Amino acid sequence: MIQNITYKNKTLAIIIKADFLKKKGVNFFTNKKFIQQVAYMNHPKNYLIQPHLHKNITRKISGTSEVLIILNGKMRIDFFNRRKVFLFSRVANKNDIIVLISGGHGFKMLKNCKFIEVKQGPFFPKKDKHKF
């Protein structure tokens, strides 16, 4: 269900394959230390989540992680190291989730593809990205 994408013992990404949709309850897929936390929740009718507020906690985050949720289609994810050297590719399909944690990445749509991207903000395109 979860593909850990690693290079030299460093996690570049995790790909959560679509079969996660069969799980019940609360399922966190990411390591508690990652700067982005991803979970899937599946609860029955009338299940209650207690009302709550999130405390104002200052966190120091280095880097930007991204979460891609594939709604439709198929994409290839190309992975690169910090020196911009191509490492390998993986494929994601409908209902897969990709959590990009470190290193470089690029994408090629193998079929028409709709997806949602989630990342920390604020986002400054000229400061946050180095294209190669």
The CATH number of the domain covering residues in 2-43+59-121: 2.60.120
Report residue 4's pLDDT band, with 50, 70 and 90 as the boundaries: very high
For residue 108, pLDDT over 90 is answered with yes
Task: Tell me the C-alpha distance between 48 and 44, whole Å.
Answer: 9
Q: What percent of the chain has pLDDT over 70?
A: 100
CB 118 within 8 A of CB 71: no
Give 15-45 pLDDT, tens digit per residue.
999 999 999 999 999 988 888 999 999 999 9
* Contact in structure between 80 and 5 (CB atoms under 8 Å): no
Which residues neighbour 15 within 8 Å (Cβ) at sequence distance 6 or greater? 2, 3, 5, 77, 90, 92, 96, 97, 98, 99
**Among candidates 13, 41, 15, which has minimal Cα distance to 93?**
15
Q: How far apart are CA 73 and CA 123, in angstroms?
A: 26
pLDDT at 63 over 90: no
Average model confidence (pLDDT) across the chain: 94
